[in-house]
A = this chain, B = another copy of it.
Amino acid sequence: MDQKNFSASIALRNVQVTDTFWKKELELVRKEVIPYQWDALNDRIEGAEKSYCMRNFKLAGEVNRKRRALGTSYQEVTYPTNQWVTFPDPEKELEERFYGWYFQDSDFAKWIEAVAYSLTQYPDKALEELADSAIDQVVEAQLENGYLNTHYGINDPKNAFTNLRDAHELYCFGHLVEGALAYYEATGKTKLLNAVERYADYIGTVFGLEEDKKKGYPGHEIVEMALCKLYEVTKKQQYLDLATFFVEERGKRPYYFDLEHPEEKPAKEGELKFFYNQAHAPVREQKDATGHAVRAVYLYSGMADLARLTQDESLFAACETLWNDITQKKMYLTGGIGSTHLGEAFTFPFDLPNDTAYAETCASIGLVFFARRMLEMNPDSKYADVMELALYNGILSGMAQDGKSFFYVNPLEVDVEACKKDERKHHVKHQRQKWFGCACCPPNIARMISSVAAYAFTENATTLWFHLYMGANLTKVVKTQDKTTSLHIQVESQFPWSGEVLIKVRPEEPVEATMAFRIPAWCKHFPIPEELKAIATIQKGYLYLTKVWEKEEEIKLDFPMETQYLRAHTGVKEDLGRLAIKRGPVVYCAEEIDNSTDLKAYFINPKKEIIRKTVNLQGEELVMLEVACKKMKADEQQEALYQEVTGTSFDELMEEATLKLVPYYFWGNRGEGNMTVWLGMR
């Protein structure tokens, strides 16, 4: 670890994204997703399972007021609270109780976070007012002691923090912290931030190393990275200490989750349990990414934050081990992670089935969290390569082109008939869905996309790193020993369709500073521009330019974006003898609508040239690919189930064909149909 190279995301208020590709996504989030999401939080989406999120906050506020009037025990333990989901009796009126999933509060938290990021790019008075009034409602739900969670808060505050394994209180808290910080950073308003600080302080009285405090940690992680961020903004040591506590307690024996659930069988001597929650062992002893994939990468992100903030080498090493395990053995070509729907979890090395994949959108988002945090400690392009891969593929695939429907699961192969008829594939949807009752992915996509610039650029006092390329206007505040000044930077890029990037730099006054440009791994031959050779160095996949920036100037970079045939490691049995096609950061797939229903009948040859065509599909300009290939002739329905193939007949099985490919993220936007990323190889 080299502290000199530590960095942090550029503040979103210092970036304006102007990029063609990302601006479209940002506007979709602003115009479609955020309003839709607000309707969802308020149960106004027809046909969708109700969220009850804002209704719960309002009710919790009312109950709070009644408590103050009628006594603290008002409404307590009237209803059982220890259940994952509670829906009202359709025959009855709503009762004074929590409805929805355990973790429903987090829907608001993710929404306010997306709103905050969006406001940095598109100031919007009406939206800000709406957000302020929503915050008012939420803060009303806070108890006297600082506790702020409607699930227990409405009916059963005495049982707060008694089921850390399942009840998602620290998860909701973590999201609320992230939302509050984003809103504070976007607007300077402190109301929600003050509320979460009060809540955090209360949590600090419940959990800790002192004898009278609980030694628990959350069943679903996020609080670790949220507390680190809270510390970074507030500089209050107690938040860093609390984050440290939650990370270090995890996996200690006897298991806290066993102590918390005496009604269940505890772990036997030597038995490892709670893999699902990454709580089977202390974090430094965890060598394999395991369990629920979203939870896993959220934990690892928190570990990375903590490693950087405390300069903990052994924690960094643990993160690196887990990073390598994921990216070398457990990641789909699209940046998807989590090979099985059973527990939405990691499985074993090289187990990457395409048609039964889980590859949850949220898990890829979590992987990007993890990647940026690793970059913040260690600017190695390997992290940014994965970040770029997940963003352009396994994350964007999660949202329809119109921003109105979403994939939770992102398979690399879909056979519509099998998804409908094979129970083993029922989790794989062949069309994006409206908002779910359990709505993790859509608001997570919204907050990821609307803060994408924070992943593109990180900085420290004198260096600006370009991890992703996107059109943007940035202000880089440079702090040297003798002055603080700014560089105004304009980035022009046609990513992901072209690798040319133009960077215009205008210093307010001459100042020495460094710009670091990632050289993408997909770019095999990057020519360092002649005029930069004198000042350029390359370290860990970044081109560093250090100099005194004196006057306005332009840097032209060109990352040749070639179409590539890719194969998987031979350990990945599902992909043996198969090829995929990728161009720059974009993974391609074949869809039924452009080809035919039997996509497994196509065989491609890596000696064939792939042709590029810029097309406009559903209002989006994108690059389609075409390649000449072989296709097995389809048998008639009634032909024999098994037939002899002789040397002579072999060649006759195949016919010449052309395969057309679209970006993976785009799939499933043109009606129902089969899809595959991996293709047979000839």
CB-defined contacts of A635 to chain B, threshold 8 Å: 569-571
Shortest Cβ distance from residue A48 to the other chain B in the assembled complex, whole angstroms = 25
Interface 1/0s, chain A 594-617, versus B by CB < 8 A? 000010110101110000000000
Q: With A and B bound together, what is the CA distance between A347 and B417 in angstroms?
A: 11
A122 at the interface (CB under 8 A from B): no
B residues in contact with A600, CB < 8 Å: 573, 576-577
Structural contact, B606 and A422, CB atoms closer than 8 A: no
With A572-B641, A638-B328, A680-B576 already in contact, the answer to whether A567 and B653 are too (CB < 8 A) is yes
Interface flags for A340-365 (1: CB within 8 Å of B; 0: not) read 10100001100100001000000000
Assembly CA distance A569 to B635 (angstroms)? 6
Residue of B nearest to A333 (CB): B642
In the assembly, what is the distance between CA of A436 and CA of B643, in Å? 37
What 3 pairs across the A-B complex have the smallest Cβ distances? A607-B647, A576-B600, A565-B645
Q: Is A375 an interface residue (CB 8 A)?
A: no
What are 9 contact pairs spanning A and B, CB under 8 A?
A: A331-B641, A351-B418, A415-B573, A567-B642, A573-B600, A576-B680, A577-B632, A605-B650, A606-B645
Pairwise interchain contact A570-B422, C-beta atoms closer than 8 A: no
Q: Which A613-668 residues have a C-beta within 8 angstroms of B? A: 632-635, 637-647, 649-650, 653
Q: Of the candidates B577, B598, B640, which one forms a contact with A603 in the assembled complex, judged by CB atoms under 8 Å apart?
A: B577
Stoichiometry (number of copies): 2
Distance of A636 from chain B, by nearest CB (Å): 9
Q: Are A566 and B642 in contact (CB under 8 A)?
A: yes
Does A329 reach chain B (CB closer than 8 Å)?
A: yes
Bound complex: CA of A351 vs CA of B605, how far in Å?
27
With A577-B680, A598-B570, A598-B576 as given contacts, are A565 and B644 in contact (CB-CB < 8 Å)?
yes
Which residues 314-335 in A have Cβ within 8 Å of B in the complex?
327-329, 331, 333
Q: What residue of chain B has the Cβ atom nearest to residue A565's Cβ?
A: B645
The answer to whether A646 and B573 touch across the interface, beta carbons within 8 angstroms, is no
Most buried by B among A348, A422, A603: A422
Partner of A606, one of B567, B605, B641, B647: B647
The answer, yes or no, to whether A421 is at the interface (CB within 8 Å) is yes
**CB of A568 closer than 8 Å to a CB of B:** yes
Q: Is A546 an interface residue (CB 8 A)?
A: no
A650: which B residues are within 8 A, CB to CB?
605-607
Contact B646 A424 (CB under 8 A): no
18 additional contacts (CB under 8 A) given A566-B642, A569-B639, A605-B650 = A327-B641, A328-B640, A340-B423, A342-B423, A342-B424, A347-B421, A348-B417, A351-B418, A566-B645, A568-B642, A569-B635, A570-B598, A571-B598, A573-B598, A576-B632, A606-B647, A606-B649, A682-B682
